[in-house]
Amino acid sequence: MRETSRAPAWARPLAWLMLGSLCVAFTLETALESQFSSWMVLNSSTHVAFVKSLGGEIHNLSPDYEDVPTLEFDVPFLAAWVISLGWSACGIGAASLLLKLRRLPFSLNVARWLERGWRWWCLTGLWSLLGLLALAFEWSELHVFIIGNMHFAIALMLAGWAAELARLLTIKADSVTLSDQAADWSVSRGVWVATALYVLAFSTMNWQLDRALLIPHGDSSMYEEHLWNVTHGKGFRSYLDQGLFLGEHVQIVHLFLLPLYVLWPTHRLLELCQTVALASSALPVFWMARRATGSRHAATLASVAYLLYPPMQFLDIAIDFKTFRPEAFVIPAMLFALDQWERGRIKSTLVCFAIALSAKEDYALILGPLGAWIALRPQLDRWLKRPTSDFPPQLQDRKRAFLFGICLTLFSVGYLFYSTRVVMRYFRSGEELHYVRYFAKFGQTFGEVIINMLTKPGLLLSELCTAKSGIYLMGTLAPLGFLPLLAPARLAVASPLLVLLCLNGIVQSDPFPRHHFQAPVVPLLIWAAIGGLRQICVSIDPSTPQRWWHRLRFWVSPDGSAPSPIVPATFLVASAFLANVFVSQSPLSIRFWDSHSLAYWRANYIPGPRAQYFQRVFDAIPQSARVASTDFVHPRFTHHERSYDYSHYARRVANYESRVPDDTDYIVIDTQHRYSDIKSPADVRELREEPDRWELLDLDTAGYFIVLKRRR
> Quick one: which of 318, 321, 320, 298 has its CA closest to 310?
318
Least confident of 412-416, 647-651, 669-673: 647-651
Express each pLDDT in 365-386 by its tens digit.
899 999 999 888 877 777 766 6
Q: Which ranges of 34-139 does DSSP label H, i.e. alpha helix?
A: 35-38, 44-53, 77-101, 106-136
Cα angle value 609/611/616 (rounded, 5°): 95
Residue 259's pLDDT is: 95
- The confidence score (pLDDT) of residue 91 equals 85
Distance CA 389, CA 383 (A): 15
Q: What confidence category does residue 312 fall into, taking pLDDT thresholds of 50, 70 and 90?
A: very high
Q: Which residue has the higher pLDDT, 562 or 547?
A: 562
111/486: higher pLDDT: 486
- Measuring CA to CA, how many Å separate 63 from each of 68, 71, 73? 10, 11, 17
The more confidently predicted of residues 612 and 435 is 612
- pLDDT bracket for residue 61 (50, 70, 90): low
User: What's the pLDDT at 668?
Assistant: 95
Q: Which is nearest to 486 in space by CA: 553, 396, 547?
A: 553
Most confident of the ranges 18-27, 503-512, 541-550: 18-27
Residue 706 has pLDDT above 90, yes or no: yes
- Res. 317: pLDDT tops 60: yes
Give mean pLDDT, residues 192-215. Answer: 95
Helix (H) or strand (E) segment spanning residue 206: helix 189-211
Q: For residue 2, which amino acid is it?
A: R
Whether the per-residue pLDDT at 62 is higher than 90: the answer is: no
Q: What's the rounded Cα separation, in Å, for the pair 682 and 443?
A: 42
User: What is the arithmetic mean of pLDDT over 336-356?
Assistant: 92
Do residues 408 and 437 make contact, with C-beta atoms less than 8 angstroms apart? Answer: no
Q: Side chain identity at 447, as an amino acid letter?
A: G
pLDDT by residue (tens digit) across 584-600?
Answer: 999 999 999 998 888 89
pLDDT of residue 2: 42
State how far the Cα of 357 lies from the Cα of 355, in Å rounded to an integer: 5
Q: Give bridge partners of residue 71 from the DSSP assignment.
A: 60
Q: Is the pLDDT of residue 605 over 80?
A: yes
pLDDT of residue 386: 65
What per-residue confidence (pLDDT) applies to 557? 57
Instruction: Determine the average pLDDT of the residues in 461-474.
Output: 87
Helix (H, G, I), strand (E, B) or coil at 193: helix
Least confident of 255-259, 413-417, 521-525: 413-417
Looking at residues 97-125, what average pLDDT do you find? 81
Mapped onto helix, strand or coil, the DSSP state of residue 584 is coil
Least confident residue range of 108-117, 135-144, 397-406, 625-634 = 108-117
What's the average model confidence in pLDDT over 619-632? 93
Q: How many residues does the chain have?
A: 712
Average pLDDT, the chain: 85
Percent of the chain with pLDDT over 90: 40
pLDDT confidence tier of residue 447, bands split at 50, 70 and 90: confident
Can you tell me the distance from the alpha carbon of 286 to that of 526, in angstroms, rounded to the nearest whole number?
A: 11
How large is the average pLDDT for residues 92-117? 80
Task: Determine the pLDDT at residue 66.
Answer: 56
Calpha distance 282→303 (Å, rounded): 5
Q: Compute the average pLDDT of residues 695-708.
A: 91
Q: Which pLDDT does position 8 carry in this prediction?
A: 43
pLDDT band of 548, cuts 50, 70, 90: very low
* DSSP classification of residue 184: -
Average pLDDT, stretch 228-244? 86
Query: CB of 655 within 8 A of CB of 692?
Result: no
At 68 the pLDDT is 62
**Which residues are 642's β-sheet partners?**
626
Residue 351: the pLDDT is 95
| Segment among 470-479, 507-516, 542-551 with least mean pLDDT | 542-551
pLDDT of residue 6: 44
pLDDT value at residue 559: 52
Higher local confidence (pLDDT), 70 or 549: 70
Per-residue pLDDT band for 432 (boundaries 50, 70, 90) equals low
8-state DSSP, 669: E
Is the per-residue pLDDT at 172 higher than 70?
no
Residue 539's pLDDT is what?
A: 56
Structural contact between residues 423 and 245, judged by C-beta atoms closer than 8 angstroms: no
* Pairwise CA distance, residues 439 & 468, whole Å: 15
Q: Is residue 110 scored above 90 in pLDDT?
A: no
CA angle 655, 659, 660 (to 5 degrees): 85
Which pairing describes strands 666-670 and 626-629: parallel, antiparallel, or unpaired? parallel
What confidence score (pLDDT) does residue 1 get?
A: 37
